[in-house]
């Protein structure tokens, strides 16, 4: 039986485990998907020696930490600077190798594209963590200008206090790449001025639990188009499976 799995620090409710376990059962695939919690990314070496996984997903906080352990990096993952999928293979020298990919960008881009309108030329990325790297990369590929918004103004970005009516009118695509609003703190929402959200805005939340977040609800109340992170999550899992099996 093949072993696939997810590595991370704390893995309580895993979408991936449910997704792959159901997929294997439904399609009669002789494989299992396990959760591998580890105190540091270094645990990957021991995991490989003990479990010989056929493919791994990587989540918070190891998407950057695993990069030095890769024998090869896919071009997209290298440009993003984060890995969420590891493929294992034997090189021409017969040695066991690891190659890192990023499928968050695939999941995000495929779910965003159908919602884009001609006026969605500029985006605000809320948060500057690991996920924001894949989002920024995706926007560059789509030709959408973006600015980061964070509590400290890093990455030459704005702080939440900078979000005036003028800024909000200019940036009609707003992507929440922070965990604000995630279960159980479902009443919280990123601190943007919702009174300036209009019907031209598209509010995309990477948060997928709950499926309708307060960020989305406040956007809907202002007539905006909104999107949950669930489709992105599904899309990145499907893309990982394709990478492991090609
Ligand atoms: N749907 C999907 O497929 C998918 C994929 C990847 C990630 N995600 C979700 O996306 C979210 C971000 O993931 P990540 O890996 O980037 O997490 P992360 O590395 O922990 O970064 C989160 C960022 O959010 C901001 N932040 C954290 N707490 C905040 C608070 N209380 N108020 C305002 N901002 C806060 C921080 O930005 P500043 O300090 O700069 O303000 C931080 O850089 C998570 O909820 C994750 O589950 C979803």
pLDDT band at 52 (very low <50, low <70, confident <90, very high): very high
Closest residue to atom 27 of ligand 1, CA basis = 178
Domains 2-102 and 105-230 share a fold: yes
Asked if CATH classification 3.30.590.20 holds for the domain at 2-102, the reply, yes or no, is no
22-38, pLDDT tens digit by residue? Answer: 999 999 999 999 999 99
Question: Domain boundaries in the chain?
Answer: 2-102, 105-230
Query: Which of the 8 DSSP states describes residue 128?
Result: -
Pocket of ligand 1, candidates 106, 179, 189: which has the most ligand atoms within 8 Å of its Cβ, to mutate? Answer: 179
Q: Which class is domain 105-230? A: alpha beta
- What's the predicted TM-score (pTM) here? 0.96
Stretch among 76-80, 129-133, 171-175, 238-242 having the lowest mean pLDDT: 129-133
β-pair type (122-126, 173-176): parallel
Separation of CA 132 and ligand 1 centre (Å): 8
DSSP symbols for 102-127: --HHHHHHHHHGGG--TT--EEEEE-
> Do residues 178 and 210 touch, judged by C-beta distance below 8 A?
no
> Do residues 13 and 37 touch, judged by C-beta distance below 8 A?
no
The catalytic residue positions are 63
What CA–CA distance (Å, rounded) separates 44 from 93?
22
Sheet holding 158-159, edge to edge: 158-159, 145-150, 122-126, 173-176, 202-205, 225-227
Pocket of ligand 1, candidates 8, 13, 128, 129: which has the most ligand atoms within 8 Å of its Cβ, to mutate? Answer: 129
Percent of the chain beyond pLDDT 90?
A: 96
Closest residue to atom 44 of ligand 1, CA basis = 179
């Amino acid at each position: 039986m093949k072993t696939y799995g997810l590595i991370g620090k704390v893995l309580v409710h895993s979408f991936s485990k449910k997704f792959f376990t159901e997929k294997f059962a439904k399609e009669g695939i002789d494989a299992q998907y396990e959760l591998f919690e580890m105190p540091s990314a270094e645990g990957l070496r021991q995991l490989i020696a003990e479990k010989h996984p056929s493919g791994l997903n990587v989540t918070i906080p190891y998407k950057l930490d695993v990069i030095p352990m890769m024998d090869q990096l896919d071009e997209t993952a290298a440009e993003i600077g984060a890995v969420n999928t590891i493929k294992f293979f034997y090189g021409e020298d017969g040695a066991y190798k690891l190659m890192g990919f990023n499928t968050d960008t695939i999941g995000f881009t495929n779910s965003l594209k159908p919602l884009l309108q001609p006026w969605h030329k500029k985006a605000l990325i809320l948060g500057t963590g690991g996920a924001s790297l894949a989002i920024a990369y995706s926007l560059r590929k789509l030709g959408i200008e973006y600015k980061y918004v964070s509590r400290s103004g890093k990455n030459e970005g704005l702080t939440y206090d900078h979000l005036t009516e003028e800024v909000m009118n200019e940036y009609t695509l707003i992507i929440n790449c922070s965990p604000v609003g995630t279960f159980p703190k479902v009443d919280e929402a990123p601190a943007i001025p919702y009174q300036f959200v209009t019907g031209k805005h598209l509010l995309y939340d990477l948060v997928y639990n709950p499926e309708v977040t307060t960020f989305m609800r406040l956007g809907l109340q202002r007539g905006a188009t909104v999107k949950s992170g669930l489709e992105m999550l599904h899309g990145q899992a499907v893309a990982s499976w394709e990478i492991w099996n090609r």
